[in-house]
Amino acid sequence: MSLQLGSLVYFDIEGMADLRGHSRPVVIRRCILIRTHASHGAAIELEGDFICQEAVFNEESTRARQPRRLLIGFELANVARTFRVIVNTELGELTLRHSDRIAELERRMNAYGSPLVTSSATFEVPPNGRPLGEVLKQATDIVEKFLKITSLAQSRWHTWVAVSVYEASEGGEGGELRYLAMRHTKLLASSGRSLTILAHSSRFIQAAWNGYSRETAQEYGFDLALEWFIAANAPQLLESKFLSATTCLELLMDRYSREAGNESLLSRDDFRLLKTELQAKLRGWARRIGLNDKTLVSLEAKLGELNRRSYAEKAEQMLAFWNLRHDDLGVTIGQIVAIRNKITHTGDAIVSGSHDQLLRTYNAIMTIIARVLLAMLDYQDQYYDWVKGAFVNFADVRIT
C-alpha cells in the first residue's frame, strides 16, 4: 500500500473482516482517502475515512470448481415495480424480484430523485464443473445486458451494486456464502417517464430482451445512446434535457452514417479536387480585396465543412434506414435543429411562441429516440408514446 499526503493516490486494502458472524478474507480496491489526519511518532499513523470502488469477500473462491448448485443474486438500484419478469438466458432463467418495501422505495425515488436499491436479479445454476469465476463473469454479462432493457423500459438508469453467490448445501436446504462483492458504480437519477406501465412491463421487457443483439448494439451505438436518453429524462432544466436529447440523436445518426458509409456528400477524392479549386478561387478573391491572412485561414478552414451532411439530412437518412415515421409527431427535424442552435448559442430556448413549443419539441425528439432504440431491438409489441399520450403498436410507426 502506497500513501502520499497531499496528493491523490489510489490504494488497495487486504485483510480479514467479519461478515455475518464469520471472519472472511476481503480485498478493497481503488481507495481514496478523505478527511485524513497523520500522527508522527515511532511510526506514522494515518487516520481518516476513505471511499473505494469495490469490496470483494472470498475472492479466492472464484478459482474453485463448484460441485453443487449455485444461487447467484445481484442487488439492483433504481428499478421500479414490474409484473413478474422471468427471461431465459444461456445460464438458465433470470428472475427479477422486488423488495418487500418497493412501494415506499419508489415513492422516495420519485419524490427526491435519489437512487435506491430496490430489487434483485437471481439465477439458479446447476453443477457444471466450471470455475466459479467463469460462471460469475457470464452471469454479470447477462445481468448488465438485462439492465439495458429494463432501463429502456422504465427510462431510468438501472445498475447492480452487489453480487452474492451461495452454494447449496448437500441436503438441498439453505446454502453457504461463497462470494460477495459490493461496488461503487454510476448512479443516475431520472424522472421515470417510461415506455411502459406496471401492467405491461413484463410483456415489454420480454419482447425487448428477445431482440437484443450485442453486435447491433455496438455497431449502431445502442448502449451509449441509452445513457444519453436516460440523462435527457433526468430531473433538470428542460433546456439541459433537450440538449442531452439532441446529443443522443446525433450520436445515433453518426453511428448509422459511419456504418452506411455515407457520412460525406462526396467521395474523398472528388472533394479534394473541389476543395483545391475552391481554395484557388478564394485566395485569388482575397488578394483582389486585400483580405488579411488571418481571416483567409479561417475561411479556408471552413471549406472542409462543405462535405458534411446536415443534421436534418442525417436524421432523415437514419429514420429511413430503420423504417420509422416521424411525420406524426407534429414537429419537424428543422424545428429540432433551430431550438438546439438557439439554446447552444444564446442559452435561450424560445425560438417562437413559448416554452410550450420547447416541451412539444422535447417530447417529439424523445419519442424519435425511443423509436430508434426499439427498432434496434426489432421490437414487436406496444410502447407508451409520449407525444400521443397513449399505448401504440410499434408496427404502426414503422414504414412498410
Look at residue 5 and tell me if it is in a domain: no
Q: At what angle do helices 333-346 and 311-321 cross, to 10 degrees?
A: 140
Of the candidates 177, 128, 183, 139, the one whose C-alpha atom is nearest the C-alpha of residue 160 is 183
Q: Is the pLDDT of residue 302 over 90?
A: no
Residue 2 lies in a domain: no
282 and 249 belong to one structural domain: no
For residue 2, count other CB atoms closer than 10 A to its CB.
7
What are the angstrom distances between the C-alpha of 286 and each of 75, 273, 289, 302, 351? 66, 20, 5, 15, 36
Where is the domain boundary, 307, 336, 365? 307
| Percent of residues, the chain, with pLDDT higher than 90 | 48
CA distance 255 to 228: 14
Q: Which residues contact 55 (CB under 8 A, 6 or more apart)?
A: 26, 27, 28, 29, 181, 182, 183
Confidence class for position 345, pLDDT limits 50, 70, 90: confident
Q: How many domains does the chain contain in total?
A: 4
Q: How far is Cα of residue 95 from the mean position of the Cα atoms in its chain?
A: 22
Asked if residue 1 belongs to a domain, the reply is: no
pLDDT grade for 109, boundaries at 50, 70 and 90: confident
Inside any domain, residue 186: yes
Query: Residue 159 falls within a domain, yes or no?
Result: yes
Asked whether 32 and 51 are in contact (CB, 8 A), the reply is yes
Q: Is residue 292 part of a domain?
A: yes
Q: Containing domain of residue 339, as a range?
A: 214-262+309-397
For residue 215, pLDDT over 80 is answered with: yes
Q: How many CB atoms lie within 10 A of CB 311?
A: 18
Domain membership flag for residue 6: no
Domain check: are 374 and 393 in the same one? yes
Rounded-to-integer distance, Cα 286 and Cα 259, Å: 39
On whether both 127 and 193 belong to a single domain, the answer is yes
Q: How far is CA 350 from CA 244, 342, 354, 357, 361, in A?
A: 17, 8, 6, 8, 11
**In this structure, are residues 149 and 89 in contact, taking their beta carbons and an 8 Å threshold?**
no
In-domain check, residue 285: yes
pLDDT tens, residue by residue, 352-361:
556 788 899 9
Domain identity same for 226 and 158: no
Q: What is the pLDDT of residue 22?
A: 80
Torsion of CA 157, 158, 159, 165, to 10 degrees: 180
- State if pTM tops 0.75: yes
Most confidently predicted of 106-110, 123-127, 317-321: 317-321
Residue 363 has φ and ψ, to the nearest 5°, of -60, -35
Domain boundary among 144, 177, 210: 210
Average pLDDT in the 290-315 region? 87
Identify the residue with better confidence: 44 or 104: 104
Do 190 and 52 belong together in one domain?
no
Same domain for 96 and 178, yes or no, is yes
297 and 318, same domain (yes or no): no
Same domain, 87 and 125: yes
Write out the three cell numbers for 92. Answer: 438458465
CA–CA dist 318, 255 (Å, integer)? 9
Cβ partners under 8 Å of residue 295, min gap 6: 286
In 10 A of CB 361, how many CB atoms? 24
DSSP 8-state class, residue 180: E
For residues 220 and 150, membership in a common domain is answered with no
- pLDDT, position 46: 59
Parallel, antiparallel or unpaired: strands 11-19 and 45-51: unpaired
- Identify how many contiguous H helices and E strands the chain contains and give both numbers: 11, 12
Residues 256 and 385 placed together within one structural domain of the fold: yes
What is the end-to-end Cα distance of the chain in Å, rounded? Answer: 63
Task: Give the chain's mean pLDDT.
Answer: 87
Percent of the chain exceeding pLDDT 70 equals 90
Three-class secondary structure assignment of 25-45: EEEEEEEEEEEEEEECCCCCE
Whether residues 141 and 112 fall in one domain: yes
Q: Tell me, what amino acid is at 392? A: V
In a shared domain, residues 228 and 170: no
Interval 309-341: pLDDT, tens: 888 899 999 999 999 999 999 999 999 998 888
What is the rounded CA–CA span in Å between residue 218 and residue 231?
20
